[in-house]
Amino acid sequence: MARVTRTIGLSLGADLCWPAAYEEVVRRLQLELPLGRDVVDFAVERVTVEPFDLQQPCRYDLVIDRLTHWFNTSREWIKKAVILDGLYVLNNPWSLQSMEKQTTYVAMMKLGLPVPRTWLVPPRRHEPTADLQPTLQRYARLFDLGEIGEDLGYPLFMKPYDGGGWRGVTRIKDEAQLRAVYDESGATLMHLQEAIEPFDVFVRTIGVGPQVRAVRYDPGAALHDRYQVDFHFLKGDDWAYLSDQMLTINGFFGWDFNSCESLRKDTVWHPIDFANACPDFQVTSLHYHWPDLLKDVLRWTLFCAATKAEMRPTLDWKPFFAIAKKDLPFRERLAGYAEITRKRMQADRFADFCDKHLSHLDEVVWEFMGTDQARALVRGKVAALFPEHEVDSFTAHFWGLIQFWRKTEVDRLDAVGKPLSADVQQRAPLPIARKA
Ligand SMILES: Nc1ncnc2c1ncn2[C@@H]1O[C@H](COP(=O)(O)OP(=O)(O)O)[C@@H](O)[C@H]1O
Ligand SMILES: [Mg+2]
């Protein structure tokens, strides 16, 4: 048997907490996987930014990339490494570069998802370029913004066609405000979108490979409080529906790690923002959900690296469009789209891999999340974001929610018949003693 090391690269920007947790958990897992004729182990390294020869080899098998949407040096290095060296990357940089929120809306409308009605309007002001004047003089039609507002109805949302981080998003209540906000919008290309109001539930799904997590979300809350700790907000088919929707989106665009915002109004789920291929992964946003998301990312990346998963060279939309054309109830078409994604993502093989090789992941993460080292990571992230006088209280807040996760995780593992060993519970006891 030959020993081979799979090297996972982390291509990072301001990320602090999850990379350190990821590295430490991989270390603690002590993986030595018998795969075919090899014994596979793993190394995790941080990708540095430096000049590169287009033909230089790449020592990574897989990269988790957090920069493609804005940092060209890393994006171009990744594109080179995918083509020349067979690198697997989360997420597909070409797809990410070319699909803005606008394209994702259009594509999902084509598949029949109830994306809210949306107009695109030319920008209020144009950056001057050589051909601008003749183009506008010949072809730009005067339009009445008020008519578009009337068509959509109020309130409506004005937001950039490419979206991201709430930049330039305004809820507009009437025509006067529409005109005023448009006048202020400058050169930004804007959507006007029907508001999904009132909605009864707002959910963020986070998809990592074939895994989907659904978290209740409160867009009106303070930043640290938007992801909610709630267990009873989905009924009946809601969870399976939202999972299929997330898989449909991610399979269609070739994304492995993405989030989707969905609002439920009159029992219908409306997806409003799902081109988030660098989803929030900070403990200061995810708190209770952070260890679970970390596990999702670990499982999927270890699977892809271990099995040398190949990036799909094309997005291949035809099978999705073939289902879209079928005369079937929408729920069945959605299940059909999701099935394409499950196959593309080798969902069954992935599940077997996790059962066989990562059965100790739950225990390792549970223990790690009780250590001083994990607490220091939380504190480090809090210190980077909050003013000094709030660092103690917010560290205690997020740490408390992670310990609550550990409590519910004990219950969950009991319920699924995989209780934590007495050993591990002794090594990393919960802050509140469990009843014997
Ligand atoms: N059509 C809509 N109906 C209701 N709320 C919306 C709508 N569009 C946006 N919002 C609200 O505005 C927020 C930001 O809009 P979003 O499209 O998510 O922009 P970004 O890409 O910047 O995250 C959403 O999280 C939601 O709270
Ligand atoms: Mg959003």
Q: What is the pLDDT of residues 225-242, one digit of tens each?
A: 999 999 999 999 999 999
In tens, the pLDDT along 245-291 reads 999 999 999 999 999 999 999 999 999 999 998 999 999 999 999 99
Reply yes or no on whether the pLDDT at 436 is more than 60. no
Reply yes or no on whether the pLDDT at 72 is more than 80. yes
In tens, the pLDDT along 317-376 reads 999 999 999 999 999 999 999 999 999 999 999 999 999 999 999 999 999 999 999 999
Nearest CA to ligand 1 atom 7: 195
Reply yes or no on whether the pLDDT at 435 is more than 60. no
| pLDDT at 164 (0 to 100) | 82
Nearest CA to ligand 1 atom 27: 219
What pTM does this model have? Answer: 0.96
Å from CA of 15 to ligand 2 middle? 19
- Residues of the chain with pLDDT > 90, as a percent, come to 96
In tens, the pLDDT along 119-142 reads 999 999 999 999 999 999 999 999
Near ion ligand 2, which residues have CB within 5 Å?
A: 273
Q: Which of 217, 273, 274, 278 to mutate to test the pocket of ligand 1 (most atoms within 8 A of CB)?
A: 273
Determine if ligand 1 sits within 6 Å of the CB of residue 160: no
**What is the Cα–Cα distance from 79 to 97, expressed in whole angstroms?**
11
How, if at all, do strands 156-160 and 170-172 pair? antiparallel
| pLDDT at 367 (0 to 100) | 98
pLDDT band for position 157 (50/70/90)? very high
Q: Residue 29: what residue type?
A: L
Domains in the chain with CATH codes? 2-98 (3.40.50), 117-194 (3.30.1490.20), 201-289+314-354 (3.30.470), 361-427 (no CATH)
| pLDDT at 434 (0 to 100) | 53
| pLDDT at 190 (0 to 100) | 97
- Residues of the chain with pLDDT > 70, as a percent, come to 99
Å from CA of 270 to ligand 1 middle? 11
* Residue environment code for 48-61, b if the CB has 16+ CB neighbours within 10 A, otherwise e: eeeeeeeeeebebb
pLDDT band for position 433 (50/70/90)? low
| Nearest residue to 104 via CA among 340, 330, 319, 317 | 317
| pLDDT at 432 (0 to 100) | 73
Determine if ligand 1 sits within 6 Å of the CB of residue 165: yes
Å from CA of 81 to ligand 2 middle? 30
Å from CA of 61 to ligand 2 middle? 31
What phi and psi, each to the nearest 5 degrees, are found at residue 82?
Answer: -65, -45
Are 356 and 31 in contact, with CB atoms under 8 Å apart? no
Q: How far is CA 307 from CA 39, 40, 350, in A?
A: 12, 10, 10
Q: Strand pairing partners for 193?
A: 118, 157
Across the range 427-431, mean pLDDT stands at 89
Reply yes or no on whether the pLDDT at 88 is more than 80. yes
In tens, the pLDDT along 361-409 reads 999 999 999 999 999 999 999 999 999 999 999 999 999 999 999 999 9
Determine if ligand 1 sits within 6 Å of the CB of residue 195: yes
| pLDDT at 1 (0 to 100) | 81
Determine if ligand 1 sits within 6 Å of the CB of residue 270: no
**Mean pLDDT score across all residues of the chain:** 96
Across the range 51-70, mean pLDDT stands at 96
| pLDDT at 165 (0 to 100) | 85
pLDDT band for position 50 (50/70/90)? very high
Are 420 and 367 in contact, with CB atoms under 8 Å apart? no
Determine if ligand 1 sits within 6 Å of the CB of residue 261: yes
* Residue environment code for 117-139, b if the CB has 16+ CB neighbours within 10 A, otherwise e: ebbebeebeeeeeeeeeeeeeee
| pLDDT at 431 (0 to 100) | 84
In tens, the pLDDT along 89-107 reads 999 999 999 999 999 999 9
Residues 6+ apart with CB under 8 A from 217: 202, 203, 204, 226, 227, 228, 261
How, if at all, do strands 62-65 and 268-273 pair? unpaired
Across the range 63-77, mean pLDDT stands at 95
